[in-house]
Structure 1
Amino acid sequence: MDFYQGFAIIIALALPHVLAQSTKDSPPKSTPVSPTTLGNYSDENSTEISSGGIFVRVLGQSGKILMGRTRNPSEDPNRLMVDFDAISELDKDGDVIGKSGRVKHSFNTFASQSFTFSNITDDQYQNLSAKRLDFVANITSVGAILTVQMYLFEEGGNITQGDEVSQVSEGTLKFNIMIENWSFCGPNGDTCKQGQTNYEGKFIDFIIAIKGKKAGQERSGEKKRRTNAQEYDMGGDATVVLSGKARYDDSSEYENLPSGFPKMNTQGSKQLFVFRFRKFNSSVFYDPQLDLGSSNDTGTDLKVGEFTAKILGRSGKMTIGRGANPVTDADRIQVTFDEIKEIDSSGAAVGISGATKHTFNTFASLDFNFSSIRDDTFGGLSAKRVDFSASIGSVSALLTVNVYIFKEKGEINVDGEKSSVQIGSVKFNIQLVGWDFCGNPGITCDKVGKNEIGDGIQFVISVQGKGSAQKRPDNDRNKRTDGDEYEMGGNAALILSKKISVDGGNYTDMTSGYPKLEMTGGQQKFVFRFPKFTKSVLYDPQILFSSTNPNGFNVVTSSLSLLITCLMLYITMVFH
């Protein structure tokens, strides 16, 4: 074997290892998110309208409606989905008729029903501006036309149906259901016969399935926010408003639906809403309403380069990712302020009940006020900054979050704890000021005759990334902080300091064992424990997006070193 043959063998053996390591540890190339054209869903023959950050998509084959806050609403965990489930003709006793025979009057599915769409137009509904889209299907066996008129409101106000009043906001969806020219079973219509019995149609049941983040719960009394009609809480701040009235034929007057309707039934995993209409001559008109809530009403976006931090004004939820709308980034990180509770010396929650609560399981009802966005520095590095704050009235506290998105990369140092930052890294400082602890002078927290004493605060955030959180070991040479680092998937990481500042003083270590990760109901919750304070406590986590994998350079370098070493050994063998 001559020199060149040996050289070729060395290259053949070592080079695949270099390339494999380089490919394995290089960051995945992010696919740019291209803007979706309204109605451009060729696989489903569907269309879409949007207003105020709400997107509504309708499938042409079945009329299914998807409503969410993302360009593709099916990606929104708080989406609402509406399926037209069934339409049935009934006799005077409420029994379904026309289920069989040559001419059917009852249908258990709309899956094969094709809808055609109108153009999207600017319109008004009771003097309120809205985007409008109609879609229509022919129900040929009964000579009927089913039309759905969708109005997506562009401004808020009140609408009425008879004596019912409902509040709408920008992004509220009203979809009017109209059935025309239905040929009922009976003497003056179709003959519907089973055995020797002729049936006469007296009603139509129209059934839709609505699915939200949770099973719908009917609101009553003061819990109703938007209407004096029926209202259902569907989870994720979404609601469904169901009128108890319909219009028939050419009348402009609303009539009550038959007694007991609308009603909700559960069938397997589906939640069905049933509307019953009396027999009509030419048409019936009915109009439900969907709303995703006000969690997106006020907020702000903080942008640097390709990165954006979107903060919601109701709840303070943050979404961090690439692009103008980070919610559409598959690698996004979502941070939810989940709960805050006062604890005693054993770690048990105190002030759970009573007139003055000290423990809160959600931030959803907190309205945050925002500062203006400004240029600032943190640790000597330039950044954009916005602050948002909310009062927690029952404990006389102020929660403030300072959000920094860095414009340059470098290193920050918090009391000797060093962390790397990249362009687009987000640091958010959490500060609590002025908490009235149980047991403080004049503050009594009574639980079954026992006075509770507050000894600290437990603050919990949920963080969702592309993958499950994986903690880097402290001896990992690629770890980018002296604190805790969690890989969140999608080349993103959560960096958690172990330091807190109490009452404006020097930083100290957090309680032993904290911060820590807990899994609750499939959610990744990060728990921070703060000691009792007199004035304030400050804590600052960080979200880090890497444009390159921190392992990549070292892995490729070591692999190239292996190749060069092999070559040098071979040359030495040949010439000696």
Structure 2
Amino acid sequence: MKTTLFFAIALALFALVALAAADEKTASNGDVAVNVQGTSGKITFWIPERSDKKYTLTFDSLCETGGGDCLNTFANQEFTFSTPATVSFNNISSKLVSFDSTIATGSQSGVKLTADLYVFLESGNYTVGDQTFYAVENAFKWSVNVSGWVFANAANKLELTMGLQHPSYKASWDATNYTLSYTNEAAVLQFAKTATYDNSQEKAVEVTTKVMGSNVAIVMAFSAAESSIWYDPQVTVATAAASSASSFLFSLAAHLVSLLW
């Protein structure tokens, strides 16, 4: 096992940055293809010889509940991104790309969405608090920061909604552990249960899903903040599965590294 669904999300996030355009665009290096539909916010990627197996991600919306402002599509968002750099993430050699986008919708102006994307160049363990996580080569980890959103009401939530579609297998959501898994796929998506608000305060994040076979709608609801919200999901895999490379998503990960870098 060398990937989780987080890795696929991160792959698609970087694909969006690398191929960002208002019109549909496809890139391929013969090993993998990535298609970005700029008018729908939909990203699809696949291995050409298995075009019947396409993985799809959609960024659906970023909206404040309770009648607040709402960005109902990411299709026309422009991103700027840094040159990939080799860094050490908790003593694990990694590639890092940072990218950001400025959001203006309704009464909001100057809202900034910033994401850091790490690609692990080697396998290793790292610790956050009292938890140990297992990173594997070609795996992806990301964090996201939203700053400058002015809440209409402190009781409201800021909801980020994504859609995920696996090409083959049925999804299963564990509401207790905040994990999303797939039948016959050695991949698990682990959501963080807290976020950092205003650079200091930890608050719970509500994650809900609607599973329809292999299609999953995911909503992450953040509490109100004065200045910023930082969401930092951790990547982990079962140690017994770490040596297996049979995952369809891992195959995409290995090829996408060569396409994007």
TM-score by length of 2: 0.65
Match of 2:162 in 1: 208
Do structure 1's residue 116 and structure 2's residue 91 form an aligned pair? no
Given that 2:41 and 2:60 are in contact with CA atoms closer than 8 Å, whether structure 1 keeps it comes out as: no
Match of 1:145 in 2: 112
Taking a change above 3 Å as real, the CA distance of residues 41 and 262 of structure 1, as seen in their structure-2 partners, is closer
Match of 1:87 in 2: 62
Given that 2:80 and 2:101 are in contact with CA atoms closer than 8 Å, whether structure 1 keeps it comes out as: yes
How much has 1:116 moved relative to structure 2? 2.8
* C-alpha separation in 1, matches of 2:82 and 2:158: 26
Match of 1:169 in 2: 136
Which runs of 5 or more residues in structure 2 are unaligned? 1-17, 248-254, 256-261
* Partner SS state of residue 183, structure 1: coil
Given that 2:203 and 2:223 are in contact with CA atoms closer than 8 Å, whether structure 1 keeps it comes out as: no
Q: Which amino acid aligns with 2:158?
A: I
Given that 1:150 and 1:175 are in contact with CA atoms closer than 8 Å, whether structure 2 keeps it comes out as: yes
Match of 2:193 in 1: 244
Deviations 1:358-399 (A, max 9, x none): xxxxxxxxxxxxxxxxxxxxxxxxxxxxxxxxxxxxxxxxxx
Taking a change above 3 Å as real, the CA distance of residues 255 and 125 of structure 1, as seen in their structure-2 partners, is farther
Counterparts of 1:24-423 in structure 2, within 5 Å, are 39=18, 44=24, 59=36, 61=38, 70=47, 75=51, 77=53, 80-91=55-66, 97-98=67-68, 105-141=69-105, 142-143=108-109, 144-186=111-153, 202-212=156-166, 213-218=168-173, 229-235=177-183, 236-251=185-200, 254-257=202-205, 261-266=206-211, 270-288=215-233, 297=243
How much has 1:157 moved relative to structure 2? 2.6
How much has 1:288 moved relative to structure 2? 3.8
Given that 1:229 and 1:243 are in contact with CA atoms closer than 8 Å, whether structure 2 keeps it comes out as: no
Given that 2:127 and 2:133 are in contact with CA atoms closer than 8 Å, whether structure 1 keeps it comes out as: yes
Given that 1:115 and 1:137 are in contact with CA atoms closer than 8 Å, whether structure 2 keeps it comes out as: yes
**Which is bigger in relative contact order (C-alpha 8 A, separation at least 6)?**
2
Deviations 1:146-172 (A, max 9, x none): 122211111223345545543221122
* C-alpha separation in 2, matches of 1:160 and 1:202: 33
* C-alpha separation in 1, matches of 2:147 and 2:26: 23
Deviations 1:13-45 (A, max 9, x none): xxxxxxxxxxxxxxxxxxxxxxxxxx5798756
* C-alpha separation in 1, matches of 2:97 and 2:61: 22
* C-alpha separation in 2, matches of 1:216 and 1:159: 28
* Partner SS state of residue 280, structure 1: coil
How much has 1:119 moved relative to structure 2? 1.8
RMSD across aligned positions (CA): 4.3
Total equivalences in the alignment: 222
Given that 1:128 and 1:155 are in contact with CA atoms closer than 8 Å, whether structure 2 keeps it comes out as: yes
* C-alpha separation in 1, matches of 2:89 and 2:187: 21
* C-alpha separation in 2, matches of 1:277 and 1:292: 26
Deviations 1:446-492 (A, max 9, x none): xxxxxxxxxxxxxxxxxxxxxxxxxxxxxxxxxxxxxxxxxxxxxxx
How much has 1:176 moved relative to structure 2? 1.2
How much has 1:244 moved relative to structure 2? 0.8
* C-alpha separation in 2, matches of 1:80 and 1:170: 21
Q: Which amino acid aligns with 1:177?
A: V
How much has 1:180 moved relative to structure 2? 0.8
How much has 1:287 moved relative to structure 2? 3.0
* C-alpha separation in 2, matches of 1:291 and 1:63: 28
* C-alpha separation in 2, matches of 1:74 and 1:118: 32
Taking a change above 3 Å as real, the CA distance of residues 241 and 67 of structure 1, as seen in their structure-2 partners, is farther
Given that 1:145 and 1:180 are in contact with CA atoms closer than 8 Å, whether structure 2 keeps it comes out as: yes
- Identity across matched positions, percent: 25
Which runs of 5 or more residues in structure 1 are unaligned? 1-38, 49-53, 92-96, 99-104, 187-199, 221-227, 299-311, 316-324, 326-576
Deviations 1:196-235 (A, max 9, x none): xxxx653211111222232321359xxxxxxx95322134
* Partner SS state of residue 140, structure 1: strand
* Partner SS state of residue 243, structure 1: coil
Select the structure of larger CA radius of gyration. Answer: 1
Given that 1:162 and 1:254 are in contact with CA atoms closer than 8 Å, whether structure 2 keeps it comes out as: no
Taking a change above 3 Å as real, the CA distance of residues 59 and 127 of structure 1, as seen in their structure-2 partners, is farther
* C-alpha separation in 1, matches of 2:85 and 2:49: 21
* Partner SS state of residue 70, structure 2: coil
